[in-house]
């Protein structure tokens, strides 16, 4: 449970939905998805048990809102990584590193994001339409690095390849078998960066 008492986190009028989503995220991070219920979220937010039903008809709708918040957080994490990259070519690998680190730092939220997408059999619609989304950041970074924007199929495949590679590494990076490689590379972040650089994603996208 959160160390701060619920009454110490009052919400402002009209901001109940945000307070509930924030409370749900805290519960996810401290106790995992199994602890999440509308009643538990209400208690964490310091509101009546009936209050969540003014915004969410059931737990599923609340999870969708939490997942949406997770995607926004991932968008921001990738944006920071791209801005900090030494060069646009290195930015592709840095996006992958940021993705894996986000999954590592927010494991329960990360699971909810993909569980909600899996239930709908698709990623959020904004992922491929909103230029600020994480997916679009990967695609646009490939273009900025020299990929041909007119080769739409190849570009989309390269974006999917980069995304799936990051997702796969996020699933596997905690495996103990990688510990010697992490040590040889100089730490986990250096290991992640080396893996992405060895995938040749940038070279493939740029036709090299």
Q: How confident is the model at residue 145 (pLDDT cuts 50, 70, 90)?
A: confident
- Under a CB-based contact definition with an 8 Å cutoff, are residues 56 and 77 in contact? no
**Residue 21 pLDDT greater than 70, yes or no:** yes
**Residue 19 pLDDT greater than 80, yes or no:** yes
Task: Tell me the domains of the chain and their CATH numbers.
Answer: 6-57 (1.10.10.60), 60-205 (1.10.357.10)
Q: How confident is the model at residue 130 (pLDDT cuts 50, 70, 90)?
A: low
Give the C-alpha separation, 37 to 152, whole Å. Answer: 43
Spatial neighbors of 114 by CB under 8 A, at least 6 apart, are none
Spatial neighbors of 11 by CB under 8 A, at least 6 apart, are 18, 19, 45, 46, 47
Q: How many residues does the chain have?
A: 208
The alpha carbon dihedral of 208, 152, 83, 199 has a sign of negative
Higher pLDDT, 17 or 123: 17
**pTM of the prediction?**
0.83
Give the C-alpha separation, 196 to 134, whole Å. Answer: 17
**Residue 10 pLDDT greater than 60, yes or no:** no
- Residue 110 is predicted with a pLDDT of 93
* Low-confidence winner among 41-50, 53-62, 120-129, 162-171 (lowest mean pLDDT): 120-129
Task: For the chain, give the percent of residues with pLDDT over 70.
Answer: 86
Q: Which two tokens stand for residue 26?
A: 């805290």
Give the C-alpha separation, 67 to 6, whole Å. Answer: 22
CA 107 to mean position of chain CA atoms? 9
- Under a CB-based contact definition with an 8 Å cutoff, are residues 189 and 101 in contact? yes
Using CB atoms within 10 Å of the CB of residue 182, give its burial: 0 to 12 exposed, 13 to 18 middle, 19+ buried.
Answer: middle
Which of 182, 173, 184, 202 is closest to 94 using CA atoms?
Answer: 202
- Residue 37 is predicted with a pLDDT of 87
Which of 115, 100, 109 is closest to 168 using CA atoms?
Answer: 100
For 184, list phi and psi in degrees, rounded to 5.
-65, -30
Average pLDDT, the chain: 85
Q: Which two tokens stand for residue 73?
A: 């957080």
* Low-confidence winner among 8-12, 112-116, 135-139 (lowest mean pLDDT): 8-12
**Residue 13 pLDDT greater than 50, yes or no:** no
Per-residue model confidence as pLDDT tens digits over 35-87: 888 899 999 888 888 888 888 888 889 899 999 999 999 999 999 999 999 99
**Residue 4 pLDDT greater than 60, yes or no:** no
Q: How confident is the model at residue 128 (pLDDT cuts 50, 70, 90)?
A: low
Q: How confident is the model at residue 202 (pLDDT cuts 50, 70, 90)?
A: low
């Amino acid at each position: 449970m959160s160390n701060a008492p619920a009454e110490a986190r009052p919400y402002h009028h009209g901001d109940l939905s945000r307070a509930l989503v924030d409370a749900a995220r805290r519960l996810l991070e401290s106790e995992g998805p199994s602890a999440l219920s509308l009643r538990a979220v209400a208690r964490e937010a310091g509101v009546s048990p009936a209050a969540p039903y003014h915004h969410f008809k059931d737990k599923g709708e609340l999870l969708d809102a939490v997942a949406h918040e997770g995607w926004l957080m991932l968008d921001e994490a990738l944006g920071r990584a791209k801005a900090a990259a030494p060069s646009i070519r290195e930015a592709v690998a840095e996006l992958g590193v940021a993705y894996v680190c986000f999954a590592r730092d927010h494991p329960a939220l990360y699971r909810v994001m993909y569980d909600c997408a899996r239930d709908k059999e698709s990623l959020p619609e904004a992922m491929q339409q909103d230029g600020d989304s994480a997916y679009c950041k990967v695609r646009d970074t490939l273009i900025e690095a020299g990929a041909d924007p007119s080769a739409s199929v190849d570009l989309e495949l390269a974006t999917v390849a980069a995304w799936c590679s990051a997702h796969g590494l996020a699933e596997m990076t905690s495996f103990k078998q990688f510990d010697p490689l992490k040590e040889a590379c100089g730490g986990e972040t250096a290991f992640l960066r080396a893996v992405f650089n060895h995938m040749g994603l940038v070279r493939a996208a740029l036709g090299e």
